[in-house]
Amino acid sequence: MKTLTITRPDDWHTHVRNGAVLKTVLPHTARQFARAIIMPNLKPPVTTVAQALAYREEILQAIPAGGDFTPLMTLYLTGSTTATEIKKAAESEHVHAFKLYPAGATTHSDSGVADIKAVYPLLAAMEKQDIPLLIHGEVTDQNCDIFDRERVFIETHLSGIVENFPNLRIVVEHVTTTEAVQFVQAGGNNIAATITPQHLLFNRNAILAGGIRPHYYCLPIIKREQHRLALVAAATSGNPKFFLGTDSAPHITPLKETACGCAGCYSAHAALELYAEVFDRADSLDKLEGFASFYGADFYRLPRNSGTVTLEKTPWTVPAAYGVNELTITPLQANEELNWKMQ
Ligand code: DOR
Ligand code: ZN
């Protein structure tokens, strides 16, 4: 049997929610990854260090007995964030970044930033404190075609941010387009990107062709095949600017399978297996370890993990759902066969 052993990986972008959903999903992330960057878009959002520390405690409680997992907390940037809070965050050993959601761009983003130029003084404070800014890069203009929103964000906002704050460490989260890949490649070493499994594995036909499949609907929306190919090339290139971030985003099944469903693919149940499939198909399994286990840690200036995980090439079928009763979460590739399995 074919196996692949790599240094323990980290997930540099995930949503684990809170309450009952947290208890259902956290064991998946904690089994696969040593650490994960935890998104702050709870309701209400995590905007202060004190809130992040309380949320961190809740996450620690959800780790299964004997588990070894470290949540890396982030704060939600709003128009009301203060320079004092940025300094506090930079000094906290548990808070690792701020997340910028353009207001209205995605799930629980209504407290996000409505006027990006208005938060420039805060970006200056982050640059000074040397704390990374994680960006959901999509414009929210309702007249902008949903498939163009990332490209237009880069032209309208991201270029300006990078020009004005040349030393700000930025992660362009969940890149989905050729334009985003090129932007990150052309930038300095302070500009990096995460890539999700769904954007590497699927193009927009997965959502729309032959019937509408809500479990492939996430934001930024999955694009055309030409963009997927650019993402696979970036992820498997060995360029340390591109690293693993699942954007695993659980929503209970009835909120996905409805007339106006929520955005988000749940992938924490098989994250590494999904990425292994991508790298295997691209004949680049030797590049998976850098992408999954080294480059993110280096960018965040955290030590690389010790220990290893092993994947086997052995088919298995993803369950139809995780959780029980009103709490079921339908995973990405539910009922489908995957070729790789983590031991
Ligand atoms: O699809 C998404 N779901 N994209 C996001 O940016 C947020 C996430 C969520 O929180 O559900
Ligand atoms: Zn996300």
pLDDT digits (tens, 9 = 90+) for 207-226: 999 999 999 999 999 999 99
Percent of the chain with pLDDT over 90: 96
- Per-residue confidence band for 240, with pLDDT thresholds at 50, 70 and 90: very high
Q: Say how many residues make up the chain.
A: 343
Q: Is 247 a catalytic residue?
A: yes
* Distance between Cα 220 and ligand 1 center (Å): 8
| Per-residue model confidence (pLDDT) at position 100 | 97
Tokens of 102: 């353009």
| Mutation test residue for ligand 1: of 11, 14, 15, the one with most atoms within 8 Å of CB | 15
| Per-residue model confidence (pLDDT) at position 68 | 96
Tell me the chain's radius of gyration from C-alpha atoms: 19
Whether 105 shows a pLDDT value over 90: the answer reads no
Whether 107 shows a pLDDT value over 80: the answer reads no
| Per-residue model confidence (pLDDT) at position 324 | 83
| Per-residue model confidence (pLDDT) at position 249 | 98
**Ligand 1 pocket by C-beta < 6 Å: which residues?**
15, 41, 106-108, 136, 218-219, 249, 263-264
Question: For 182-197, what is the mean pLDDT?
Answer: 98
* Distance between Cα 199 and ligand 1 center (Å): 13
- Which amino acid, residue 158? L
d(C-alpha 224, C-alpha 207), whole Å: 11
Q: Whose CA is nearest to atom 3 of ligand 1?
A: 264
Question: For 279-290, what is the mean pLDDT?
Answer: 98
Q: What is the pLDDT of residues 65-85, one digit of tens each?
A: 999 999 999 999 999 999 999
- Per-residue confidence band for 242, with pLDDT thresholds at 50, 70 and 90: very high
Q: What is the pLDDT of residues 23-48, one digit of tens each?
A: 999 999 999 999 999 999 999 999 99
Question: For 315-338, what is the mean pLDDT?
Answer: 95
d(C-alpha 17, C-alpha 71), whole Å: 12
| Per-residue model confidence (pLDDT) at position 38 | 98
Instruction: Share the mean pLDDT of the chain.
Output: 97
Question: For 96-121, what is the mean pLDDT?
Answer: 90
| Per-residue model confidence (pLDDT) at position 106 | 76
Ligand positioned closest to the Cα atom of 264: 1
Domain range for residue 195? Answer: 3-342
| Number of domains making up the chain | 1
Q: Which of 115, 141, 247, 298 is catalytic?
A: 247
| Per-residue model confidence (pLDDT) at position 323 | 94
- The answer to whether 33 and 271 are in contact (CB under 8 A) is yes
Ligand positioned closest to the Cα atom of 250: 1
Question: For 43-55, what is the mean pLDDT?
Answer: 97
- The residue ranges of DSSP E strands in the chain, in sequence order, are 3-7, 10-14, 35-38, 70-76, 95-100, 133-135, 170-172, 191-195, 242-244, 308-317, 337-342
| Mutation test residue for ligand 1: of 25, 262, 332, the one with most atoms within 8 Å of CB | 262
Whether 285 shows a pLDDT value over 80: the answer reads yes
**What is the spatial order of strands in the sheet that 3-7 belongs to?**
3-7, 308-317, 337-342
| Per-residue model confidence (pLDDT) at position 111 | 85
- Which amino acid, residue 202? F
d(C-alpha 3, C-alpha 249), whole Å: 28
Residue 272 sits in a domain whose CATH number is 3.20.20.140
| Per-residue model confidence (pLDDT) at position 180 | 98
Q: What is the model's pTM?
A: 0.98
- Per-residue confidence band for 326, with pLDDT thresholds at 50, 70 and 90: confident
